[in-house]
Amino acid sequence: AIVQVLETFWAKSTTASLTGKQVLITAGPTQEPIDPVRYISNHSTGKMGYAIAAAFAQAGALVTLVSGPTSLPLPHPAIRRIDVRSAQDMFSATQAAFSQADITILNAAVADYTPAHPADQKIKKKEAQFAIELVKTVDIAASLGQQKREGQLMMGFALETNNERENALKKLHAKNLDWIVLNSLRDSGAGFGHDTNKITVIDRDEQVREFALKSKEDVAQDLLQIVLEKLGSQPALTV
């Protein structure tokens, strides 16, 4: 609690402020329908994204949280939450909110692939084996990256199991991000389902900052500080 107070104080003492800033945050998994009862999803619980939303809301930002299916409560009363299910729904919701967003943080674990032909009826258990054909979903980060205007900031997340930094760097540039936050599945206690996380943040200049394993709330505070530093260094925002 003392750490929280100090960090909040520090946040308020920087030159930059989040008051009046629109922040768009995505969180959680998506569910891609196979038929009316079955779907493809992933192990994201939404905890990291919800902690980020809470940190930014507490710092005075106007937060829109586009959330895939989670069992989490609204993390701060001032947050506007938009619930979505599929990657396509999440794409639509982020498209609608993006032009107003000063800062966009894409933390959701959006499905890369979705069933090509979801069935209207529950698929019966007959064949000994069959295959689900999948097609790529729209790349939300890449699409928003193309639309990004001067002054808009965008942070993406990467979860990699191999060639982590190399893949993360490619993603940073290909999607026109300002930062990429790398979660490693190799770090024990980090990532999906845990209350802690261990991140590495890489910016457009390929500066790398590694952080220690800490609670997702503390990771959210670190990310808030990174954004505040950047806002403080932008000429248009200094007084």
Interface residues with its own copies (CB under 8 A)? 34, 36-44, 71, 109, 111-113, 116, 121-125, 127-136, 139, 159-162, 167, 185, 192
We find the least distance from the C-beta atom of residue 82 to its own copies, in angstroms, to be 19
Measure the CA–CA gap between 17 and 73, rounded to whole angstroms: 27
8 A C-beta contact, residue 27 and residue 93: no
We find the least distance from the C-beta atom of residue 130 to its own copies, in angstroms, to be 6
φ and ψ at residue 220, rounded to 5 degrees: -60, -40
Measure the CA–CA gap between 57 and 63, rounded to whole angstroms: 6
Q: Does residue 42 carry a catalytic annotation? A: yes
We find the least distance from the C-beta atom of residue 60 to its own copies, in angstroms, to be 31
Q: Of the candidates 179, 170, 167, which has an alpha carbon nearest to the alpha carbon of residue 103?
A: 179
Measure the CA–CA gap between 68 and 189, rounded to whole angstroms: 23
For strands 153-160 and 103-106, give the pairing: parallel
Q: Which of 42, 107, 167, 183 is catalytic?
A: 42
In this complex, which beta carbon is closest to its own copies, that of residue 13 or of residue 162? 162
We find the least distance from the C-beta atom of residue 161 to its own copies, in angstroms, to be 5
In this complex, which beta carbon is closest to its own copies, that of residue 113 or of residue 230? 113
Reduced to 3 states (helix: H, G, I; strand: E, B; else coil), residue 171 is helix
We find the least distance from the C-beta atom of residue 44 to its own copies, in angstroms, to be 8
Letter string b/e over residues 179-205, b meaning 16 or more CB atoms within 10 A of that residue's CB? bbbbbbeeeeebbbebebbbbbbbbee
Measure the CA–CA gap between 172 and 201, rounded to whole angstroms: 11
In this complex, which beta carbon is closest to its own copies, that of residue 164 or of residue 203? 164
Measure the CA–CA gap between 50 and 25, rounded to whole angstroms: 9
In this complex, which beta carbon is closest to its own copies, that of residue 6 or of residue 174? 174
In this complex, which beta carbon is closest to its own copies, that of residue 112 or of residue 229? 112
As annotated, the active-site residues are 42
